[in-house]
Structure 1
Amino acid sequence: MSSPENPVQTLQRSLRDLMRQNARAGRVVVAVDGLDAHRTRAFANGFAAVLGEDGTPVERASVGDSEPDVRERIVAPFRAGEGDAVLVVDGRFLHAPERRGLWNYSVWLESNPPIGSPRPELPDAEKRYLATARPKAAASAIVENSDPAHPVQVFGDFC
């Protein structure tokens, strides 16, 4: 008797397949960005596991909000390595204009309060980030992750 498919892994496998359409080989760097650092890290850990299911070497890194040396400390050393591999980086503000060119593929995790619940007031830094960086428009994929056990890919219409 087979076990039911895990909805999180199903979505992550779908994202993996989309990512590999454009980044099949080499040293691939993936960003998982979201305002909720805990949920972002958890999603990135699961995505890294799914990426490695076929034996692809996968490395993980987490980035703080204001780490200025992401390129020098994390991305450049990874890209200097040999062979096919994937680096999954999680953090907040990863779609900021100065960081966008670091990623071959990126995921924006959207979290919304339940319907009928008030939307909490965001800190100024988060408001500025959403308004200026527009992570939903910059991301390769958008995932509605309000219920982390049942994430859903969202297809934005930017026309």
Structure 2
Amino acid sequence: MAPPTDTADTLLHELRDEVRQHYPSGRVIIGVDGVDGAGKTRFAEALARVFAEDGSAVFTASIDDFHRPRAERYARGRDSPQGFYLDSYDDGAFRRLLIEPFRSRSGPFRTAAFDLDRDEPVTAEAQDAPADAVLIVDGIFLHRPELRGIWNWSLWLHVPASIAAARLAERDGADPDPEAESNARYRGGQALYAREADPRTAASAIVDNSFPDAPVRIFGDFC
């Protein structure tokens, strides 16, 4: 990955400094939330590099590595928005294998439990961390009620639906029209999430990531 531009680098350092004002030491867990195509993984990796500049131990993970099996994800139907929102992820495994041991320092933690492409469980390498460490998790639906209390600090990445759809079309071959019928499951699931969880309000900060080389922090009810 190319290094961040000056604009992106400045924002990343400002966000890191904000977190450190509240959490100068100890175990810190950060969530990077947003719709598919928002640029969450790239942003999380860039933020991790900035945290590591002062020698901090930094770990990254994705909720995508804690999916449920395909049969469970599609139990409500392959086109079901409710299934997308409610059944995609194994919150129990996410908490048990990653969040709880990391936060409590009760033992090694694992950053993955499921291989989505192969549709089967995996046993990720067990990792440990020093007493002062940062864990940055990216993914969708990170502010749903079941997970909201996990984060010490969290971020919502805003992008217009048209930009997110264009990115998914390039990455996954999806239809670039966000209103296309083939996108209804995902569009509807995100709408359910927005109504139930209001992630823009729940997040500690909102960043417009329409242009990844020039992300902009936004405030109030811009979204």
**Which structure carries more strand by proportion?**
1
What is the one-letter code of the residue matched to 1:149?
Answer: D
2:52 maps to 1:52 = yes
* Aligned ranges 1:50-129 → 2 under 5 Å: 50-64=50-64, 65-69=88-92, 70-81=94-105, 82-112=130-160, 113=162, 120-121=178-179, 123-129=187-193
Matches of 2:221 and 2:152, distance apart in 1: 21
CA contact (8 A) 1:143 1:154 kept: yes
Give TM-score scaled by structure 1 length. Answer: 0.87
Aligned mates of 2:191, 2:204 — CA distance in 1: 21
CA drift of 1:5 comes to 5.7
Find the structure with the greater CA-based Rg.
Answer: 2
Unaligned runs of 5+ in 1: none
In structure 2, how many angstroms separate the alpha carbons of the residues matched to 1:137 and 1:97?
A: 13
Question: Within 1, Cα distance between the matches of 2:95 and 2:187?
Answer: 26
> 1:83 is matched by which residue type in structure 2?
A
One-letter identity of the residue aligned with 2:148: R
Q: Which amino acid aligns with 1:99?
A: L
Deviation at 1:125, TM superposition (A): 0.6
Percent identity of paired positions between Structure 1 and Structure 2: 45
Structure 2: runs of 5+ lacking an equivalent: 65-87, 106-129, 164-176, 180-185
Letter in 2 for 1:72: R
CA contact (8 A) 2:40 2:139 kept: yes
Q: 1:66 offset after TM fit, Å?
A: 1.4
Aligned position for 2:74? none
Residues 15-26 of structure 1: pairs in structure 2 closer than 5 A: 15-26=15-26
Q: How many residues align?
A: 151
Give the number of the structure whose residues are more often helix, by fraction: 2
Q: Deviations over 1:120-139 (max 9, x none)?
A: 33621111011111000000
Contact 2:157–2:209 (Cα < 8 Å) also in 1: yes
1:80 deviates by 3.2
SS at match of 2:98: helix
Does the 8 Å CA contact 2:12/2:47 hold for their aligned counterparts?
yes
What is the match of residue 173 of structure 2?
none
Asked if the contact 1:37/1:92 (under 8 Å) is kept, the reply is no
Q: State which drifts further: 65-74 or 12-21.
A: 65-74
Q: Is the 8 A contact 1:37 1:91 kept in 2?
A: no
The one-letter amino acid paired with 1:18 is E
Instruction: Give, in whole Å, the separation in 1 of the partners of 2:48 and 2:38.
Output: 15
Of 127, 131, 137, which residue of structure 1 is paired with 2:195? 131
Q: In structure 2, what is the Cα distance between the partners aligned to 1:124 and 1:133? A: 14
Distance in 2, Cα, partners of 1:6 & 1:72: 39
Task: Tell me, in whole angstroms, the C-alpha distance in 1 between the residues paired with 2:200 and 2:99.
Answer: 22
Question: Aligned-residue CA RMSD in angstroms?
Answer: 2.1
Does residue 156 in structure 1 map to residue 220 in structure 2? yes
